[in-house]
């Protein structure tokens, strides 16, 4: 990484001009930085003919904290490689990589600026018919084709090594599984939530379930995960769903991405109690979110099972009934990770705008209590679910 330098708009234009691949030779290019993430610079480069591309460069530190939190540039390689691998399987739902330079930790991506970030759209109560099926399809296919059902053991072992991502995994390990359950400096919640947080931390059964989920996160290289499937990592419009930002990608438990996605839908569900006052409109949005969850679950399950029945290459794993057993475990894991996501986004370091942007303090607190309690109940009850319908029934028995 010795040749790394941090880019600015001028350097980006020089670099792109030099590559000579994306615009007419004599195009007049402009460029601006617009990243609002925590870890990267994001530039848009455009000509005067409405052609544009995105240039993303990883910073050697976490932008939100400053240069005091150094962070490996290797994540840019991992992000580009995950996008390429997932893109081969699901080209329609994965942001396209046009170029990657590992030394510069720099990736050129298709510009998805004509789409919108899902989180903002949900916060405005905009709905998307394709969303759940597209995400389910992406999660099922990318996870199946990187699992032991499909890859030979030696192919998979080589990929596990290639996608070893200790520094970004450590962020998840800490923020997702550790901090929320103890006094940690990075936690972030209002004093009024303290009693609820204390109750949570006293629940011994919960702590054991969280330990199981963390151990699984550490010790189950089941597939090449996206690693950060929240609603801010998904671009949408009526006809498109595009996953971006898999820099947390690594080989982990299949239920993790699925649970993260559903968790973010449920965070939005909880937030809508304070976001929409008009009851019919609120119920419509919440029904949409629950439908999304139901469809994601059933579509993920059906797609995975069909792939397992028709494309499993491992002889032992073809055993009659094994895929169903495996998927039940994936569902249980997903419910658990979903619960963790609800909890850590409410009291941990990284929050969601769905909740944080609620202006009324009391209403926000009520939403936080709701999210926290829902997370706890899901984690505790995850292992009761045998089918996707069990998961759905569990969720609707605890929400509202």
Q: Is 180 annotated as a binding residue?
A: no
Binding status of residue 173 toward a second copy by CB under 8 A? yes
CA separation (Å) from 10 to 7, 33, 42, 111, 183? 8, 11, 13, 19, 45
- Candidate residues 166, 186, 194, 400; the one interacting with a second copy per rule CB under 8 A: 166
* Cβ contact 193:361 at 8 Å: no
Q: Is 228 annotated as a binding residue?
A: yes
Question: Could you tell me the smallest distance in angstroms from the CB atom of residue 377 to a second copy?
Answer: 18
Residues contacting residue 149 through CB under 8 Å, at least 6 positions apart: 307, 308, 311, 312, 313, 314, 317, 323
* DSSP symbol at 69: S
Binding status of residue 170 toward a second copy by CB under 8 A? yes
Q: Residues binding a second copy: what is the number (CB under 8 A)?
A: 42
227: left (phi over 0), alpha (psi -120 to 50) or beta: left
Q: Is 268 annotated as a binding residue?
A: no
Alpha helices, DSSP H, located in 203-321: 204-219, 255-275, 279-311
Neighbours of 217 (CB within 10 A): 22
Q: Is 247 annotated as a binding residue?
A: yes
* DSSP symbol at 235: E
Question: Which of 151-159, 190-198, 297-305, 387-395 is the region at the interface with a second copy (rule: CB under 8 A)?
Answer: 151-159
Binding status of residue 325 toward a second copy by CB under 8 A? yes
CA angle, corner 250, sides to 248 and 251, nearest 5?
150
Question: Could you tell me the smallest distance in angstroms from the CB atom of residue 166 to a second copy?
Answer: 4
Q: Is 246 annotated as a binding residue?
A: yes
Binding status of residue 169 toward a second copy by CB under 8 A? yes
> CA 146, CA 238: separation in Å to the nearest integer?
29
Q: Which is closer to a second copy, CB of 254 or CB of 399? A: 254
| E strand segments, 93-229 | 97-101, 106-110, 116-117, 223-225
Binding status of residue 158 toward a second copy by CB under 8 A? yes
Pairing state between β 97-101 and 106-110: antiparallel
Binding status of residue 314 toward a second copy by CB under 8 A? yes
Phi, psi (deg, nearest 5) at residue 44: -110, 130
Binding status of residue 269 toward a second copy by CB under 8 A? no
The H or E element spanning position 56 is: strand 52-58
Q: Is 8 annotated as a binding residue?
A: no
- Candidate residues 26, 36, 183, 320; the one interacting with a second copy per rule CB under 8 A: 320
Q: Is 359 annotated as a binding residue?
A: no
Binding mask 201-240 for a second copy (x = CB under 8 A): ---x--xx-xxx-xx--xxxxx------------------
Binding status of residue 114 toward a second copy by CB under 8 A? no
Q: Which is closer to a second copy, CB of 113 or CB of 166? A: 166
Binding status of residue 177 toward a second copy by CB under 8 A? yes
Q: Which of residues 326-365 bind a second copy (CB under 8 A)?
A: 326
The dihedral sign for the CA sequence 249, 251, 253, 254: positive
- Candidate residues 20, 66, 91, 153; the one interacting with a second copy per rule CB under 8 A: 153
> CA 185, CA 380: separation in Å to the nearest integer?
26
CA atoms within 13 A on the CB side of 61: 9
Q: Is 245 annotated as a binding residue?
A: yes
Binding status of residue 70 toward a second copy by CB under 8 A? no
Binding status of residue 305 toward a second copy by CB under 8 A? no
Binding-site residue ranges for ATP? 40, 56, 110-112, 245-247
Report the interface residues with a second copy, using CB under 8 A. 148, 153-154, 156-158, 160-161, 164, 166-167, 169-170, 173, 177-178, 181-182, 204, 207-208, 210-212, 214-215, 218-222, 314-322, 325-326
């Amino acid at each position: 990484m010795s040749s790394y330098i941090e880019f600015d708009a001028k350097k980006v234009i020089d670099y792109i001009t030099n590559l000579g691949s994306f615009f007419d030779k004599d195009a007049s290019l402009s460029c601006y930085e617009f990243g609002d993430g925590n870890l990267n610079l994001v530039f848009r480069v455009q000509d005067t003919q409405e052609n544009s591309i995105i240039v993303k460069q990883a910073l050697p530190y976490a932008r939100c904290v400053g240069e005091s939190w150094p962070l490996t540039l290797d994540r840019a390689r991992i992000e580009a490689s995950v996008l390429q691998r997932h893109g081969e399987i699901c080209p329609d739902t994965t942001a396209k990589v046009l170029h990657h330079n590992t030394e510069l930790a720099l990736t050129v991506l298709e510009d998805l600026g004509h789409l919108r970030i899902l989180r903002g759209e949900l916060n405005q109560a905009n709905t998307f018919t394709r969303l759940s099926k597209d995400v389910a399809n992406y999660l099922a296919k990318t996870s199946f084709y990187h699992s032991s059902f499909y890859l030979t053991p030696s192919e998979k072992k080589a990929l596990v090594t290639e996608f070893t991502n200790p520094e970004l995994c450590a962020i998840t390990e800490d923020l997702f599984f550790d901090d929320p359950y103890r006094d940690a400096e990075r936690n972030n919640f209002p004093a009024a939530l303290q009693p609820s947080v204390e109750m949570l931390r006293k629940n011994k059964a919960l702590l054991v379930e969280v330990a199981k989920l963390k151990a699984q996160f550490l010790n189950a290289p089941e597939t090449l995960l996206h690693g950060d499937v929240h609603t801010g990592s998904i671009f949408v419009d009526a006809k498109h769903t595009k996953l971006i930002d898999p820099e947390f990608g690594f080989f982990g438990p299949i239920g993790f991405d699925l649970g993260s996605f559903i968790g973010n839908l449920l965070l939005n569900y909880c937030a809508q109690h304070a976001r929409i006052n008009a009851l019919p409109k609120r119920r419509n949005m919440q029904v949409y979110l629950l439908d999304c969850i139901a469809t994601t679950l059933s579509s993920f399950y059906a797609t995975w099972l069909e792939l397992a029945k028709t494309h499993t290459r491992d002889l032992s794993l073809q055993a009659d009934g094994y895929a169903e057993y495996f998927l039940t475990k994936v569902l249980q894991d997903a419910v658990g990770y979903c619960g963790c996501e609800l909890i850590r986004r409410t009291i941990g370091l990284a929050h969601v705008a769905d909740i944080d942007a609620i202006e009324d303090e009391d209403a926000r607190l009520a939403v936080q209590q709701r999210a926290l309690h829902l997370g706890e109940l899901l984690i505790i009850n995850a292992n009761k679910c045998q089918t996707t319908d069990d998961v759905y029934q569990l969720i609707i028995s605890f929400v509202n």
